[in-house]
Amino acid sequence: MALVRESLAYATRFLARFGLAGRWRPASEWWVPAASFAGWGWLAVGGNDHGFAALCAGGGPIGRLVGEWRAGILASQLAGWLLMSLAMTLAMMLPLTIDALRYVSLRSFPWRRARALGGWLIGYLVPWIAAASIASLALMTVVGPTARPWTAAAAFLVAAVWQMTPVKGWALRACHRTRPLKPSGVSADASCLLFGARVSAACMVSCGPMMFAAMATAWPTVALAGVFVVALRERYVWRPPTRATALALAAAGGFLALQAIAS
Q: Are 132 and 85 in contact (CB under 8 A)?
A: yes
pLDDT in tens, 137-170: 777 776 655 667 788 889 999 999 999 999 998 9
Count of alpha carbons within 13 angstroms of residue 232, beta-carbon side: 18
> In which band, very low, low, confident or very high, does the pLDDT at 201 lie, cut at 50, 70 and 90?
very high
From CA 194, how far away is CA 197, in angstroms rounded?
5
Q: Which residue has the higher pLDDT, 228 or 13?
A: 228
CA dihedral 148, 149, 150, 154 (to 10 degrees): 100
Q: What is the mean pLDDT of the chain?
A: 77
From CA 181, how far away is CA 10, in angstroms rounded?
31
Number of residues assigned to the chain: 263
Average pLDDT over residues 225-241: 83
- The answer to whether residue 122 scores a pLDDT higher than 60 is yes
CA distances from 95 to 102, 158, 257 (A): 12, 25, 31
Handedness of CA 223, 225, 229, 231 (dihedral sign): positive
pLDDT in tens, 237-260: 777 777 888 888 898 888 888 887
> In which band, very low, low, confident or very high, does the pLDDT at 197 lie, cut at 50, 70 and 90?
very high
From CA 129, how far away is CA 44, in angstroms rounded?
18
Report the percent of the chain where pLDDT is more than 70. 72
* Whole-structure pTM value: 0.76
- The answer to whether residue 191 scores a pLDDT higher than 60 is yes
Q: Which residue has the higher pLDDT, 79 or 97?
A: 97
Calculate ∠ Cα 176-181-187, nearest 5°. 135
- The answer to whether residue 58 scores a pLDDT higher than 50 is no
- The answer to whether residue 27 scores a pLDDT higher than 80 is no
Q: Which residue has the higher pLDDT, 175 or 83?
A: 175
- The answer to whether residue 199 scores a pLDDT higher than 90 is yes
